[in-house]
Structure 1
Amino acid sequence: MMKLFLFISLSFSNFIVAQNNAPQRTINDYRLAEDYYREGAFEKATQLFQKLYESNTFNTNYLGRLISCYQETSKFMMVEKLLVNNLKQNKNHAHFYVYLGYNYQKQLQLDKANENYALAINALEKNASYGGLIGQLFREYNLLDLAILAYEKTMLLNKNTNYNLQIAQIFGEKGDYQKMFEAYIDLVDKNEKYLNIVQRYSGKYISKDPENETNILFKKALLKKSASQPKAIWNVLLSWFFAQQKEYTKALIQEKALFSRGSNNLDAFFILGKIAFDNTSYSASKKCFNFIIEKSLNKNERIQAHFYLAKIAVDTKDPTTAVFFQSLFNIFGKSSATIQLQVAYADYLTFQKNKPNIARAILEEALSYATSKFEEARIKLKLGDVLVFTGEFNKALLYFSQIQIQLTDHVLAQEARFKAAQTSYFKGDFDWAKAQLKVLKGAATQLIANDAAALYLKILDNEPIDSIPSGLTEFAHAELLEFQNKNKEALTSLENLFTRKDIFPNGLIPSEVIYSDVLFLQAKLLLKQKKHEEAIAALSHIIRGDSQFFLADTIYFMIAETYYNDLKKTSKAQEYYQKIIFEYPGSIYVIDAREKYRSVRGDKL
C-alpha cells in the first residue's frame, strides 16, 4: 500500500510539474505530438511521445499515446517489450495487463489477449486500488463487459468505492437501456445526492413521446423500484419524468403526493407551473399556481402565483382578464410587492386593449413604489415599449438610455440597449442601430445576443447603398406597425412595397434579400389573421426564390404546423416534417418534427 501511495503521489507530482512547471519546450513537444497524432502522422508522433515518456515514465497519458502510435505503425513487439519491462519493474501495476492484452488482440492473438485481461481482473483481489483505472482502460478499448466486471469486482472488494454511474453509462453504450436505467435508479437509491446527475444522463435517452421505447423502459424501472422500496425520491423522479414528456398534470400528481407526506416546500410547484406555462400547457400550469394559492401562507408566494394566473389569462385571451387584474390590486394593493403585476397589467392594456395612455399612467405611478434601481429599470423598460407603441420614440430612447447608465453591463441594461437599437431601426436610423447591435452581439444572455445578431444582419444585408432605395425603410415601418398591433396596416404596407418600381423595377425579384424578409413577415401577419393558405403560399414563395434562406427550417416547420394544427391536412404536414428530418438534421425543430412525423404516420415504438 505504501508503494502504491508513493506511485500515486509521484504521478500527481509529475502531472503538476508537467502542467505548471514544465519547460516550454516540453509543452510545445506535447502539443506538436498531439497534432501529429490527430493528423495520422504516427511516425513523427512516436518520436516525440517516446521522448516525453522517457522524461516522465509515470505519465500514463504519454504511455497510452506511445503505445497507440506503435500499434498504428504495426510495431507490436515494441509495445510488448515496453509493457513486459514495466511489469517486471512494477508487478503491482495491473493496468499494464490491459495494455498488453489489447496489444495481443490487435494481432488477433485472442487467447493471449484474454489471458492478460484475466490477469488484470484477478489482480484486483490483491490490490483493488487499480480497479477504476482498469475499468476505464477496458472502456476506452470498447471492452465493455470487462469494464463492467472490473468495476463490479472493485466495488465488491472495496465497499468505499462506487462505480455505478460508470456501469450505467456503459449499459447505455451497449444499448442495454433497461439495465442502464436500473443502474441509474439504483445509484439514486443508494445516495440521493446523485439525483441531478441521473436526471441529466437519463434525460439524454428520454423524449417527449410517451410511446418511445426508452421512455417506457425508464418508467417500468422506476415504478418497479418504487413498488419494492417506497421512498419520496421516486415521486421526485416521476414528476421530473412526466415533465420531460410534457405530461404536466401527471407530474403535478407526484408533487402533490410528496406534499401530502409533510413537505412544506412549494418551490417544486412554482418550477413545474412555470415550465408548463412556457410550454403553453395552461391548464396544468393553472392547477400548479392554484395549489400554491390554496396552501401558501406567504404573501409574496401568493402574489407570484396570482401573477402567473394573470399571465395565463392574458395569453388565453380570457374576457375577464381586466376584472381579474383589478381584483388582485384590491386584494394586494399597489406597492413594491405588486410591481410585477402592475407592469403586466400595463402591457396587457397597451398591446391587447389598445389603451397605452392608461398603461403609461399606471407605470408612472409604479415608479413611485420602486425600492431599487432594478425595479425602476423594469418599469422603465415597459414604459419605453408603451412610448414606442404610441410613436414617441425620443422619450422611449431617453428611458432606455437611463437604464443603460444606471445598470452598466447588467442584463437589464443590455435589454435596454437592444430596445434602443430596435427603436432606432423603426425610425430608420440604421447606422446608430447597427452601432448598438454590434456591441450586443457579445451580450451575456444568448437570447439578446441572437436577437441583436439577427437584426444587425438584416440591416447590413438590406440597407440602402448610395441613396438607392432598398425597401428597408418601408420594411422597418411595417415591422413597427406589427409591434403596434396594427396588422392590417402592416400587411397593406408590405403589399405597397411590392409595387414600388424604384425598389423592384422588374416586379418581384427573388434574388433581393429584402424580398425574403418581406414575405416572411407577410406570412406571420397572415397567420395571425387565420389566413392559413395565403400564409403557406408566402412561405413557399420564399423557398422557391431562396432555398438557402437562413430560416428555411423554420419555414418548413411553420408550414408543417399550419397543415397539422390548423388545416388538419396530415399528409401535407408529414411531407414538410420529413423535409426537416432529412434535410436539416441539425435544426432545433428536428425532435418535434420527428415526433409529429411518427404520430402522423401512426408509428408505435
Structure 2
Amino acid sequence: MKQFLLIILLLSCVFGFSQNEQLADNYFKRGEFEKALISYQKLYEKNQGNYKYIYKLVETYQQLEQYDNAQILLLQRISKSNNPSLLVELGYNYQLKGNLDISETYYTDALIAIDENPAFSYGVAKRLQDHSLLEKAIIAYKKGMALNPKQNFNVQLARIYGELGNIEQMFSNYIDYIESKPTYLNNGKRAFSDFISENSDNENNVSLRKLLLKKIQAQPDQIWYDMLSWLYIQEKAYNKAFIQEKALYKRNPESLSRITDLALTAINEKDYDTANSIFNYILENSQDIETRLTAHQYLLDIEITNASKKELKDIQDKYQTLFKQYGTYEQTIALQIAYGDFLAFNLHEPENASLFLKESLELELSSFQEATVKLKLGDILVFQEKFNEALIYYSQIQANLKNSTISQQARYKVAKTSYYKGDFKWAESQLKILKSSTSQLIANDALDLKLLISDNIQEDSLHTALRLYSKADLFAFQNKNEEAISLLGKILTEHKGETIEDQALFMQAKLFENTKQFDKAVANYEYIIANYRDEILADDAHFYLAQLYQTQLGEPEKAKPLYENIIFNHEDSIYFIEARKRFRMLRGDAIN
C-alpha cells in the first residue's frame, strides 16, 4: 500500500512539473516574459540541475534585457559545473551587451574545452548553432568528429551549410552521413528536394550529380545508383534514370517493381519512348506471368495513345495474340478489362465489348475482380446510353463490397449516370454522401459535380442549361469531342451570363486542348480569368492556361505570371504546390 501511495505521489509530482513547464513555455511563446520569468524561476529552484530551465531562464532574462541577472546565474552555474556550453551562453550574453571582445574569449574557451573532452562537442556546437554562430558551430562539430570518429555530426553540418548557402558542402555532408547510415537515404532525398529543380543545368543539380558520379566511380554501391536515379527523375530525365535502375537491378535481380514504377512515372509524364523501352526490358527479364501481362498491357496502352484507325486494328490483333498465348481466365482479367475498354472507347464497338466482358463474368473471379469487371461494364453501358442497366451493375458493386474504395467509385458512377440521365436530385443526394469519401480523388470529384448541380438547378427550374451541359459531358465521355464542343457553344450562346457559363467555357477549353485547338482553348481560359476571377474555376483556368503556354505553346514567360497569381491569390488551391514549383523553375531559382 505504501509503495502504491509513493508511486501516486511521484506521478503527481511529475505531472505537476509538466504542467508548470508547459505554462512557462506558453507565457514565453506569447511574449509574456515577466510571467515566464516567474514560472521558470520556480522550476529552476526545484530542479537546479536541469539545463533546460537554466537556458530558458537565461533567455527570458535576455528578452527582458536583464543581462546582468543572466550573467550572475551563468557564473553561478559555471562555478559548480565544467560544462563548456555554459561558456557559450555567457559569451552570447556579453555579445548582447555589446562586449564583443569578451564574448569571443568565452567562445574560444568553449571550443578549447572540446579538445580536453570531445563529449562536449555536441552541446557546445548546438548552443553556438542556436545563436546563429554557424561558422563556430562548424568548428565545434568538426572537432568532435576528428577527436572521436564514432561521433557523426554530418547531418548537423549539412543543415548549417544549407543555411550558409554552401549547397555543395551540404550535399557532401548528407552523402557522407548516408554512407554511414544507409537507412537515412529517403530523408536525404527529402532534404535534397528543397535545393534542386527540374532544370538539369541548375548549379545545385550539377553539384549533386558530380558528387554522386564520383561516389559511383569510387564505390559502386547501390545507394548511389538509387540516389542518381532519383535525381534524374526529379529532372524528368527518365531515360537516364532507367540506366541507373538497370544497374540496380543487375545487382539485385529479385524484383522489377522499381523499374515498373519508373515506367508508370514516364507514362504519366507522357515520355512514351522511355516507358516503351522499360516495358520491353521487363518482358526480356521476367518470367513471372503477372509481370509480363502487366508489361504487355501497358505497351498496348502506349500504342493506343497515338494510334491511327488502321493501327487500332493491328492493336486488336495483338490483344488476340496475347489471349491465345495466355488464355482468357482469371489471371488475365486485367488484360480482358483493358480489351473491353479498347473495343468500346477506341474501336467504338460497345456491343462487342459488353458481350466480351459479360463472358469474363462467367469465370471463377474473386469479389474484387468481379467488381472491377462490372465497373468497366457499367462504363461501357453508359457509353451506349443504357443507363438503367449500367446502374444495376454499379449498385451490385455497392451491395457486395460495402465501404470499399471500389464501392465508393461505384456510388460516384451511380451519381454521374443519374446526372447524365437528367435525374439531378438523385445524383446530388449520392454526391452528398461521397463528400466524406476516404478516397480524396473521389471526394473532390463528388464535390465538384455536386456544386455544379446545386448551383444550376436553383437558377433554372426546368434545368435547361444543365441538361445541355450534362449531354455535352456525356459526349465528351463517349469521345465525341466535336459534338460536345458544339453543344457547349450552344449553351454559351443561349445561356450567356447564367451560372453555368464558366463551367461551359472551362469544359470547352479542355476539349479544345484535346483536339489541338490551342488558340481557342487560350481564349476560353482568358475569358474565365477576366470575367470570373472570384469564382471557383479561377485557379483552374490560371493553372491550365499556364500549363498550356509552358508545355504546348512554348511561351514560358506567359506561363510565369499565371502560376504566380495562384501562389499569391489562391493559397488554398489544389494547384498551389505544383504552381509554386513550376513558377520557381521558370524563374530559374537555384533553391526551391
Q: TM-score, normalised by structure 2?
A: 0.87
Q: Aligned runs of 1:278-317 on 2, under 5 Å?
A: 278-317=268-307
Cα distance change of structure 1 residues 62 and 529 upon mapping to structure 2, 3 Å threshold: same
Give the secondary-structure state (helix, strand or coil) at the position aligned to 2:114.
helix
Q: How many positions carry a matched residue from both structures?
A: 571
Question: Is the Cα contact below 8 Å between 2:409 and 2:442 reproduced in 1?
Answer: yes
1:534 and 2:517 equivalent? no
1:22 and 2:15 equivalent? yes
2:323 alignment partner in structure 1: 329
Q: Aligned runs of 1:438-477 on 2, under 5 Å?
A: 438-464=432-458, 467=461, 469=463, 471-477=465-471
CA deviations on 1:354-411 (whole Å, 9 max, x unpaired) are 2222222222222333542222222222122222222233333333333333333332
Question: Is the Cα contact below 8 Å between 1:556 and 1:577 reproduced in 2?
Answer: no
Cα distance change of structure 1 residues 597 and 134 upon mapping to structure 2, 3 Å threshold: closer
Question: Is the Cα contact below 8 Å between 2:343 and 2:352 reproduced in 1?
Answer: yes
Give the secondary-structure state (helix, strand or coil) at the position aligned to 2:441.
helix
Can you give the 5+ residue segments of structure 2 that lack an aligned partner in the other structure? 1-6
Instruction: Give distance in 1, aligned partners of 2:360 and 2:438.
Output: 28
Amino acid at match of 2:73: L
Instruction: Give distance in 2, aligned partners of 1:128 and 1:399.
Output: 71
Instruction: Give distance in 2, aligned partners of 1:61 and 1:470.
Output: 70
CA deviations on 1:48-82 (whole Å, 9 max, x unpaired) are 34444445555555544443332222122222223
Q: Aligned runs of 1:403-422 on 2, under 5 Å?
A: 403-422=397-416
Give the secondary-structure state (helix, strand or coil) at the position aligned to 1:589.
helix
Cα distance change of structure 1 residues 53 and 268 upon mapping to structure 2, 3 Å threshold: same
Higher relative contact order (CA 8 A, sep 6+): 2
User: Bigger CA drift: 190-199 or 457-466?
Assistant: 457-466
Cα distance change of structure 1 residues 299 and 468 upon mapping to structure 2, 3 Å threshold: closer
User: Bigger CA drift: 119-128 or 333-342?
Assistant: 119-128
1:71 and 2:65 equivalent? no
Q: Shift of the alpha carbon at 1:582?
A: 5.6
1:5 alignment partner in structure 2: none
Q: Shift of the alpha carbon at 1:334?
A: 1.4
Cα RMSD for the two superposed structures: 3.0
Instruction: Give distance in 1, aligned partners of 2:463 and 2:320.
Output: 49
1:104 alignment partner in structure 2: 94
Amino acid at match of 1:165: V
Question: Is the Cα contact below 8 Å between 2:397 and 2:407 reproduced in 1?
Answer: yes
Give the secondary-structure state (helix, strand or coil) at the position aligned to 1:205.
coil
Instruction: Give distance in 1, aligned partners of 2:347 and 2:101.
Output: 81
2:482 to 476, 484, 488: 488
1:547 alignment partner in structure 2: 533
1:171 alignment partner in structure 2: 161
Question: Is the Cα contact below 8 Å between 2:492 and 2:505 reproduced in 1?
Answer: no
Q: Report sequence identity in percent.
A: 37
CA deviations on 1:472-502 (whole Å, 9 max, x unpaired) are 34323322221122223322322232344xx
1:223 to 207, 213, 228: 213
CA deviations on 1:242-293 (whole Å, 9 max, x unpaired) are 1221111111222233444564432332122121112111111111111111
User: Bigger CA drift: 268-277 or 483-492?
Assistant: 483-492
CA deviations on 1:544-568 (whole Å, 9 max, x unpaired) are 2112234434423433444455555
1:47 alignment partner in structure 2: 38
Q: Aligned runs of 1:379-418 on 2, under 5 Å?
A: 379-418=373-412
1:576 to 545, 556, 559: 559
Instruction: Give distance in 2, aligned partners of 1:405 and 1:82.
Output: 72
Question: Is the Cα contact below 8 Å between 1:462 and 1:470 reproduced in 2?
Answer: no
Q: TM-score, normalised by structure 1?
A: 0.85
2:147 alignment partner in structure 1: 157
2:342 alignment partner in structure 1: 348
1:266 alignment partner in structure 2: 256
User: Bigger CA drift: 307-316 or 279-288?
Assistant: 307-316
Q: Shift of the alpha carbon at 1:349?
A: 1.9
Can you give the 5+ residue segments of structure 1 that lack an aligned partner in the other structure? 1-12
Q: Aligned runs of 1:490-569 on 2, under 5 Å?
A: 490-500=484-494, 504=495, 508-509=496-497, 512-563=498-549, 566-567=552-553
Amino acid at match of 1:68: E
Instruction: Give distance in 2, aligned partners of 1:296 and 1:286.
Output: 15
Cα distance change of structure 1 residues 116 and 291 upon mapping to structure 2, 3 Å threshold: same
Instruction: Give distance in 2, aligned partners of 1:62 and 1:367.
Output: 70
Cα distance change of structure 1 residues 104 and 257 upon mapping to structure 2, 3 Å threshold: same
Cα distance change of structure 1 residues 64 and 405 upon mapping to structure 2, 3 Å threshold: farther
Instruction: Give distance in 2, aligned partners of 1:353 and 1:35.
Output: 67
CA deviations on 1:130-162 (whole Å, 9 max, x unpaired) are 433433333222222222223222233333332
Instruction: Give distance in 2, aligned partners of 1:34 and 1:398.
Output: 60
Question: Is the Cα contact below 8 Å between 1:463 and 1:470 reproduced in 2?
Answer: no
